[in-house]
Amino acid sequence: MTTKESNSNSSVSVFHDFHPSPYGGGNQFMTALTAEFERRGLRVEKNKVSDNTAACLFNSFNFDFNKLLQIGNNYPIRMIHRVDGPVDKYRGDNRGVDKEIWELNKNIADTTIFQSKYSLNAHKSLGMEFANPCVISNAVDPSIFYSSGTTVNCGQSRKIKLISSSWSDNLNKGAHVYKWLEDNLDWDKYEYTFVGRSPIKFNKITMIAPMNSVSLSDLLREHDIYITASMHDPCSNALIEALACGLPAIVANSGGHPELIGRAGYTYDDKFEIPDLIEELVSQYVIRQKNIEIQSLFEVGNHYMNVLGF
C-alpha cells in the first residue's frame, strides 16, 4: 500500500545506527520515519532481516557495512539507499566517505533516495551516478515540532528573539558567522540563543547545551527568527524543525537550504547581508511566516512507502 495503512504482516528492515535524542539531524529523521512506518502497521526490524522482510532501507553510511552486504547478497528483497552529502564536502575533509557510499550503492542498491535536488546534483558533479535516484525531503515528528498557531507582533514592543542550533561543532556549521553577528548586531534590539555545540564560545549569544526534541521545540516556539549559517547541508533537519515550529528563517545560500526555505525567509551569500535581512524579515514577518511550506511526515512517509514497494 502506498498512502494508507500497511498490511500488519509486512516488515521493513532499517539499517541505521540509532541514538536517543539529542543527536544529529539524520538520526532524528530516521527515528521519526520508523515511527511513521510503525503507525501505518509496518513491522520495523532495526539492523536485521527476517523471512517476512519485504524491503530494506539503509541510511547513508551509518551502519555495519559488512552485515548489510551479507544481507544484500543473500536475501531477495528490495534494497533502498538513503544517501547523505556529499559528506566530505560538508565535513570539510577528504576521507573518501562519499566514494565508500557510492561503491556500496553500486553493489546492492535498487533505488537511491536523495534528500534534496542539491545533493543529487552535487554527487553528479563528482561523477557519481547512483541506482534509480529520486528526491524525498526530510520531515519532522508533528507531535513534537509544530507551530503555536499564533503570529507575534515581531519587533513592536520588545527585542527580536533570534535562534540557531547545531549538534555538531564542525566549523562548516557556521559558528564563525554567529560570532560575527555577536560582534555586529544591535543588542538593544535583539536577543540571540544558540543551542548545541560550537567550536567558538559566545559572550552575548546565550549558549545552551544540546537538548531533547521536546525541549528544543518548546524553545523554538519562544523565538521569532531562525538563522542557519551551515554550509553544504543537503537537507537540514534543524531548519525543518524551526520552520515546523513557525519560525521564518535567514539561511546561507548553500546546500539544500534554498529548497527548504522557499518564500518563508531569505537566503544570503555573505554574512554582511544578515543584519539588513533580519530588518527586512521583521518588516515582512507575517507574510513570510504564512509562506512556510514544508512536507509533512505523512507526505514523506507516503513517498518512502511507494519507493519501498508497499
Average the pLDDT over 257-284 and give the result: 97
Between CA 104 and CA 94 the distance in angstroms is 18
* CATH 3.40.50.2000 given to domain 160-290: yes
Collapsed DSSP state (helix, strand, coil) of residue 217: helix
- Mean pLDDT check: name the lowest of 57-66, 269-278, 286-295: 57-66
Highest mean pLDDT among 47-56, 79-88, 92-101, 298-307: 298-307
* 25, three cell numbers: 539531524
Average the pLDDT over 32-38 and give the result: 96
* pLDDT band at 44; cut points 50, 70, 90: very high
Q: What angle do CA 286, 289, 294 make, to 5 degrees?
A: 160
Taking the model in full, what pTM does it have? 0.92
Collapsed DSSP state (helix, strand, coil) of residue 237: helix
Mean pLDDT for the chain?
A: 91
Give pLDDT, residue 59: 92
Q: What angle, rounded to 10 degrees, do the helices at 237-244 and 25-39 form?
A: 60
Whether pLDDT at 87 is above 90: no
Whether pLDDT at 231 is above 80: yes
Give pLDDT, residue 5: 46
- Mean pLDDT check: name the lowest of 72-86, 207-221, 241-255: 72-86
Provide the residue ranges of all domains of the chain, joining segments of one domain with +: 11-139+297-308, 160-290
- The class (CATH top level) of 11-139+297-308 is alpha beta
Three-state SS for 144-213 is: CCCCCCCCCCCCCCCCEEEEEEECCCCHHHCHHHHHHHHHHCCCCCEEEEEEECCCCCCCCCEEECCCCH
Highest mean pLDDT among 50-64, 92-106, 149-163, 220-234: 220-234
170 and 91 Cβ atoms separated by less than 8 Å:
yes
Whether pLDDT at 155 is above 80: no
DSSP 238-271: HHHHHHHTT--EEEESSTTHHHHHTTSEEEESSG
Q: How many CA atoms lie within 13 A of 128 on its CB side?
A: 24
Q: Give the count of beta carbons closer than 10 Å to the beta carbon of residue 47.
A: 16
* pLDDT band at 2; cut points 50, 70, 90: very low
Helix (H) or strand (E) holding 221: helix 213-221
Average the pLDDT over 7-25 and give the result: 83
